[in-house]
Amino acid sequence: MTSQTNSGTGITTVYKVTGMTCGHCEGSVSQEVSAMAGVTSVEAVAATGLVTVVSAGPLDDEAVRAAVDEAGYELAGRA
């Protein structure tokens, strides 16, 4: 199952991240992932653990994993 869709505004990919519990967590993950080349939008929701990323092109899952790790959380994979 993939959670990646392509629309006129870019590619939307939904990831599952473990360890987020609050708004600060959401901000940390969003900040790190937003810094990746090609990323145009990030929405992290601690309550669900879902991080929705819109990018100009496909993202390397390992690069996303590294960004989430840098924020102090764990990428469980695509939702």
pLDDT in tens, 47-68: 999 999 999 999 999 999 999 9
Partner residues linked to 39 by β-bridges: 55
Interaxial angle between packed helices 61-71 and 23-34, expressed in degrees from 0 to 180 and rounded to the nearest 10: 140
Query: Which range of residues forms the domain containing residue 54?
Result: 4-78
For the question of whether the overall pTM of this predicted structure is more than 0.75, the answer is yes
Say which CATH number the domain at 32 has: 3.30.70.100
CA-angle at 75, arms to 45 and 40, nearest 5°: 60
Count the neighbouring beta carbons within 10 Å of the beta carbon of residue 64: 22
DSSP class of residue 59 equals P
- Whole-angstrom distance, CA of residue 6 vs CA of residue 15: 15
pLDDT at position 4: 73
For the chain, the domain total comes to: 1
pLDDT of residue 6: 75
